[in-house]
Structure 1
Amino acid sequence: MTKIPIYRPYKLSSKIILFSFLLFMIGCVEPYEGEVADYEDVLVVNANLTNELTRQEVRLTRSYRFEEDGPRGESNAQVQIIGDDGSVYPFEETDPGTYLSLETFAARPDIAYSLSIETQEGRSYTSEAMQLPSTTTLEDLYAERTTNDDGEEGIGIFVDSYDPEAQSRYYHFKFEETYKIIAPYWSPYDAVVISEGEDTFSLNVIQREREEQVCYATDMAKEILIHSTLGLAEDRITRFMVRFIKNDNYIISYRYSILVEQHVQNPAAFAYYETLRGLSKSSENIFSEDQPGFLGGNILATDGSGENVAGFFEVSSVDQKRIFFDYEDFYPDEEKPPHTTACLFTAPTTSGRLGERELLNAIYEDRLRFYDYNRNPNETIGTGPFLMIRPECGDCTVLGSNKVPDFWEE
């Protein structure tokens, strides 16, 4: 198996680079509250050329300080993928740090490809040449009611795959899950403030102008899912679980869909992601004395300076499948999972001086949504004129989009 070097410069900036890259690649850790004095600004590359006929994508960002909100896109770079047959595919920036090829193209198995980047500051980088590995069909994608290793009940999403030629061996699975959200306390009406003065105010109840009852949310895989059949008699994957969803998770309350991509990798890419997965599992200890240092990939500065560059240029073959299911398919006689948050009614008062009226302030600050008139004022709920609810309980657009995805099936 190809070895990926892990350099160990004992300075805090290496921890920043690695931690920033882990956040960029998998985004599954809690934010660190604080500041770090030592900092090294490096380019972070996420590029995967596939055998799909599409506009290929390259994402470029910069490492960032822990007190910052997140990575910033590396804009105005010149990006291209070059084949050893003389082909050149230029890219254009479509969003800050996101570059798409000007034309659709697919990687071919007989060509070695390299990534070339030149930043706005004139710094140039190139990757090692990579070739397309064997193509293998994702045989089956299915869901089953099961129990995980911690004894928790839920739905397992499994894949089966088989390469009769035994040429694939290294697999990386990615998924995108989409689920229906129904606001449990939606009302077709909303409360608005018409006017407010020192001694008077005016409220009104109006019809909502957009769909806020049914929405759809999409999440990506937050962990590195790799698997190897190296050393096995057959190049076969059976019941590999790519996702487990606890039975009390609200995302499966109604209708759920998952798209799974199977990427066949070459040994160098697999070794890189295997190392990265190990680092991500210990990322909560990234500030410990036994820190892992900088993870070197296959992208280098062309000036020979040895400048650190985070990321890996990969060429992989892809196959994918999508499935849908409803909660009732697996739990036909059981109550649906609870909503993502507790939904409790409140009836804020309108008393007080200008700027102190609880209900009006909640409407101004969009902290509550109208549900109904308060027909039974009491001390528990409140004595205000309206029954109000948290936004995520009465407006599904807080959690997702009210646009039905193009692929959606009922």
Structure 2
Amino acid sequence: MKFRLIKNIILLSFLTAFFNSCTEAYPLVTNRFEEVIIVEANLTNELKKQEIKLTKSAKFEDESYLSESGAEVFITDDTGNQYNFSEDSEKYLSDIEFQAVPNTKYQLHIKTKDGRSFESSPETLTTVTPIQSVVAAIEEKDGINGVGIRVYSFDPTDTSTYYRYEYEETYKVIAPKWKPTKIEWVSSTNSPIFVPNSPDTKTCYGSKKNVELMLQSTNNLKEDRIDYLIRFINDQDYIITHRYSILVKQYVESQAAYNYYNTLKKTAASGGTIVSPTQPGFLLGNLRAVNSDSKISGYFDVCSVSTERIYFNYEDLFPGKFPPPYIVECKEFCYSTDEALVPDPCSHWGHYGDDLSLEKITYFSGTGSGGFTYWVDAPCGDCTRIASSIKPPFWIDN
């Protein structure tokens, strides 16, 4: 997430300057380019295989980012332990499960396959402060009614102070016009056939993660107490139509880490650039080159984490109220080749075979009045068009 922010900030700044100074269109091609290693590394107090991501900065014209493969990655602590990491699907995972513990200094080491070496400053685990609760309730924001999801936390020692949040939301999707029979187009015969509809296309599960940096500080408050609106959902958003769940993660950050993330967030919000006007390079964190003047960006974050998951149904918060509309309008329609029948009773002119072969529509209710077959757009009868039919392992129904 942090690397995407860095690339987008630079691209936005470049485009702004480009279009403000030019009247002719030119291809966006980088004339000068210095490769920078981007590091995403969170070492937490969770007992697990820890994860580190290494990527390379991209040129403006590049459509994707390359991972930094073939590197030697390990973490050491001041008690003599070394935790080695191995490459696994564009990331590096620790060979064993381990966790950061209090009063111990940890340091990240990276050796690239071309011989460059990097290391972080020694970092210690922050205060372990659990989430007290995550609560969903009816709330109004900017004149819009909806569901406010708030995180509550309290540190009586007043030593946490700096917080970062992430969430992943999951929601049930039920195709409102699903039927046990559908039509498929057979290209070899240029004709449709009736087939059983898979029950897996009726109920699905969507999932999204936050994309913005969410930071909170209690530095100017009388006590180290958090009441933070982490998510607001419009009451007309289809994701809360049935059942909704959110997993909230609370990271307690050091002041240095908080300042790094806060600078990154402010730069992104302002549309500015994190490239220095006097020296090319990225926003500096707590990493440095050991044997060269190579550039490296990112942050080795040693932080405590607390997680909490909640569920709610639409009926729990809005009893007796009509649920939000589906993501697409599920109005029934039919096709006709007789222009006299368009738009009444049929709204689509032409042959349905084209749309059926492209899987744009779903058979709905068979033959209606006047001998017409009625249809709906594909997501209305097949939820896999907008979500996954695989039920998450953590999911709990009513």
TM (norm. structure 2) is 0.83
Q: Distance in 2 between matches of 1:263 and 1:337?
A: 33
Aligned to 2:88, the other structure's residue is in SS state strand
Quote the offset at 1:17 in angstroms: 8.7
Pair 1:341 & 2:333 matched: no
Give the equivalent residue in structure 1 for 2:185. 193
Deviations 1:329-383 (CA, angstroms, capped at 9, x unpaired): 22112211111222344445689xxxxx853333333322322334346xxxxx9
The letter for the 2-side match of 1:405 is P
Pair 1:143 & 2:143 matched: no
Quote the offset at 1:244 in angstroms: 0.8
Q: 1:82 to 1:359 in 2, by over 3 A?
A: farther
Partners of 1:363 and 1:369 within 8 A in 2: yes
Give the equivalent residue in structure 1 for 2:76. 82
Q: Distance in 2 between matches of 1:343 and 1:131?
A: 55
Give the equivalent residue in structure 1 for 2:94. 101
Q: Distance in 2 between matches of 1:89 and 1:201?
A: 61
Aligned to 1:55, the other structure's residue is in SS state coil
Quote the offset at 1:100 in angstroms: 1.4
Aligned to 1:141, the other structure's residue is in SS state strand
Q: Distance in 2 between matches of 1:88 and 1:243?
A: 39
Q: 1:18 to 1:182 in 2, by over 3 A?
A: closer
Q: Distance in 2 between matches of 1:139 and 1:241?
A: 14
Quote the offset at 1:300 in angstroms: 2.1
1:148-163 map, 5 Å:
148=141, 150-163=142-155
Q: Distance in 2 between matches of 1:173 and 1:361?
A: 47
Find 1:360's aligned residue among 350, 353, 361: 353
Deviations 1:51-87 (CA, angstroms, capped at 9, x unpaired): 0001111112223344544333333322222212221
Q: 1:348 to 1:386 in 2, by over 3 A?
A: same
Question: What runs of 5+ residues in structure 2 fail to find an aligned partner?
Answer: 11-18, 20-24, 339-349
TM (norm. structure 1) is 0.81
1:281-296 map, 5 Å:
281-283=269-271, 294-296=282-284
Give the equivalent residue in structure 2 for 1:259. 247
Aligned to 1:134, the other structure's residue is in SS state coil
Aligned to 1:215, the other structure's residue is in SS state strand
Deviations 1:153-210 (CA, angstroms, capped at 9, x unpaired): 11111111111111111111111111111112222233223343xxx62321111345
Pair 1:178 & 2:170 matched: yes
Q: Distance in 2 between matches of 1:345 and 1:235?
A: 55
Quote the offset at 1:231 in angstroms: 3.5
Aligned residues: 368
Give the equivalent residue in structure 2 for 1:332. 319
Pair 1:114 & 2:107 matched: yes
Q: Distance in 1 between matches of 2:334 and 2:67?
A: 44
1:10-25 map, 5 Å:
19-20=6-7
Q: Which runs of 4+ in 1 moved over 6 A?
A: none
Partners of 2:43 and 2:50 within 8 A in 1: yes
Give the equivalent residue in structure 2 for 1:43. 37
1:197-236 map, 5 Å:
201-209=190-198, 211-236=200-225
Give the equivalent residue in structure 1 for 2:264. 276
Q: Distance in 1 between matches of 2:67 and 2:246?
A: 28
Q: 1:193 to 1:405 in 2, by over 3 A?
A: same
Q: Distance in 2 between matches of 1:349 and 1:275?
A: 60
Q: Distance in 1 between matches of 2:377 and 2:295?
A: 47
Task: Provide the identity percentage.
Answer: 37
Q: Distance in 2 between matches of 1:391 and 1:188?
A: 14
Cα RMSD over matched residues?
Answer: 3.1
Q: 1:315 to 1:145 in 2, by over 3 A?
A: same
Give the equivalent residue in structure 2 for 1:6. none
The letter for the 2-side match of 1:265 is E
Find 1:63's aligned residue among 57, 60, 77: 57
Pair 1:129 & 2:122 matched: yes
Partners of 1:132 and 1:316 within 8 A in 2: yes
Q: Distance in 1 between matches of 2:81 and 2:52?
A: 17
